[in-house]
Amino acid sequence: MKIVTKLLCLAILELLLAMQLPAQLKYRDFKTLSADIQSLASRYQSLCTYKSLAKTHDGKDIWVLTIGTGDIEQKPGVAVFGTVEGNYIAGREMALGFAENILRDSESADVKNLLESLTFYVFPDIAPDAAEQYFAQLKYERKVNSGSTDDDRDFQTDEDPYEDLNNDGLITLIRILDPTGNYIESTDDKRIMAVADISKGQTGAYLVFSEGIDNDKDGKFNEDGPGGVNANRNFTYNFEEYGLNTGYHAMSEPETKAVADFLFDHFNIYMTIAFGPQDNLGQPMKESERQNDPVLADPFEAGRGFVGGSGRGFTREPADRRLTSITKKDAVINKLASDKYHEITGAKGNPQPAQAPGNFMEWAYFHYGRYSFSTPGWWIAADKGKSAEASFLAFAAKKQLPDVFIPWTEIKHPDFPGKKAEAGGIRPFVMYTPPADTLKDVVLANYKFVKALADMHPELEFLDLKTENAGENIFRVTLKVHNKGIFATMAEAGLTNQWTRLMKITAEPGKGQTIISGQKIQRIQRLDGGAAAEFSWLVSGRGTLAVTAGAVNTGIIRTNIDVK
């Protein structure tokens, strides 16, 4: 009896301790993530497979799950990306959570129909080296992989890392009381440091740096720590040569090259959705005042020269006319997706803009030529007139979130002898990582959104099929190819992209039949949602005319027409 009582007390104690642990401990580290991916594929073998595309510098796999039925690579595809930047660890939960939810719901009529129509490719984490810092003994918002680079170009690598000066296991900020500094305590919240605004008569009182010391005595703090390249700054669009953490050249890293190679090999993908710092769902992209339309002239409406066409196409514009902002028609779809995101998730406002050259979201649209959407998946909208930090701290106080701010604590700093130095600041990750007790709801809301967006996929059908007897054993066959989906058959950005498959229609005469007017194989122009294109042939002879239309990124439809 005493043993039972003792075991019961131990169990209760363990439960109480678990309840006191920080909520973030419920997030999955890479080992758990990998095990869950393999378990998911094992449980849904008829619907899901997985494989590693590459290994990072630290030996971690870049996983991709493929979810669908039938001939998966001959159906339109949606690529869902989790963590594209290492400090957005909630992204892996949202991406893998999408996979878990859609497989769990795979017997429901709507999801079953969706999986019969589409293929989903899920990349839970393309920055696992950096994301693992969240689970390390020393926690800081790491964005770079484990490749060693000379970030400050002083012919040394990784020589100026972070140091935990207040011994709390977290890297936050240090502030030094110094009249030459340009920081003051924010008027929004005195715990936060803000740049002094001279126009308001403010003068600086503090120097502010990331927590650490100047190891190489170059006047900079923590500028060359462990690791080297941010995967979300290593893609080709607007790549920043010699930029901080961008890599020695675009696609230099195993993870980014593997992702791009996979996407380029899968012509059926028509849309990507990423969870990371970039956002065009909280606030959609807007068309620039400088029109892109001449660059994107429809291959079927412009001059010769279209690569892969049949003599009709567009004339390539000079390099200075390359696509640099979203097109008019793609902006309409982006606005629709944004409205749907707010409606389904209940998200208010929009995240703080996160501009970064070489990021995945812009690459997927401007260079890959697909519909491309991105969102942090969770954020605290800034209060009017307040900084993002002050707005978050107000939210945390309202929700009674514990330990989001590390109080300023005096330290001895070797680089500032005789001056008052303090360490403290907002805890790493908390500003864009939802508390774990809310994570399930956040994941579910984003799953519902991705599913709803996928339901708008381009979908072809034949309409208004007619056969007319023209006499003397000759028949006119007419039909329309109609896109009954909401999304166009390709993003407008894909018109100038040779990695996007164009649709075609093929008429195959039966035995004893001949097509005497109309091409056997014809291109089909890009079709907006609800639009149609009409085709007709003169056929000599009775029999069955087989017609096939579409492309792998729109789906391929077939019909047999009895000509008699």
d(CA 551, CA 500): 10
Q: Give percent of the chain above pLDDT 90.
A: 73
Predicted pLDDT of residue 323: 85
Q: Using CA atoms, how far apart are residues 233 and 176, in angstroms rounded to an integer? A: 32
Comparing 415 with 235, the larger pLDDT belongs to 235
Whether the per-residue pLDDT at 341 is higher than 90: the answer is yes
pLDDT tens, 47-100? 999 999 999 999 999 999 999 999 999 999 999 999 999 999 999 999 999 999
Among 507, 490, 511, 508, CA closest to 499: 490
Q: How far apart are CA 212 and CA 216, in angstroms?
A: 12
Using the Cα atoms of residue 533, residue 329, residue 263 and residue 90 in order, give the sign of their dihedral.
negative
In this predicted model, what pLDDT tens digit does every residue of 233-284 receive, in sequence order? 999 999 999 888 888 899 999 999 999 999 999 999 999 999 999 999 999 9
**pLDDT tens readout for residues 473-486:** 999 999 999 999 99
To the question of pTM greater than 0.85 for the whole model, the response is yes
- pLDDT at residue 474 in the model: 94
* CA distance linking residue 527 with residue 487, whole number of Å: 9
- What pLDDT does 560 receive? 96
- C-alpha span between 277 and 431 (Å, rounded): 12
Q: How confident is the model at residue 384 (pLDDT cuts 50, 70, 90)?
A: confident
Residue 501 has pLDDT above 60, yes or no: yes
Residue 303: pLDDT band with limits 50, 70, 90: very low
Q: What residue ranges do the domains of the chain occupy?
A: 22-134+238-286+346-379+439-454, 150-226+380-431, 460-563
pLDDT at 152: 52
Amino acid at 368: Y
Identify the bridge partners of residue 405 per DSSP, sorted by sequence position. Answer: 426
Return contacts of 191-197, CB within 8 angstroms, 24+ apart.
191/393, 191/405, 191/407, 191/408, 191/424, 192/387, 192/389, 192/390, 192/393, 192/426, 193/425, 194/387
Tell me what the mean pLDDT of segment 533-556 comes to: 95
| Domain covering 22-134+238-286+346-379+439-454 assigned CATH 3.40.630.10 in the classification | yes
User: CA nearest 77: which of 85, 87, 65?
Assistant: 65
Task: Give pLDDT, residue 31.
Answer: 96
Q: Which two tokens stand for residue 461?
A: 């059908």
pLDDT digits (tens, 9 = 90+) for 152-180: 555 555 545 678 889 999 999 999 999 99
The domain at 460-563 falls in which architecture? Sandwich (2.60)
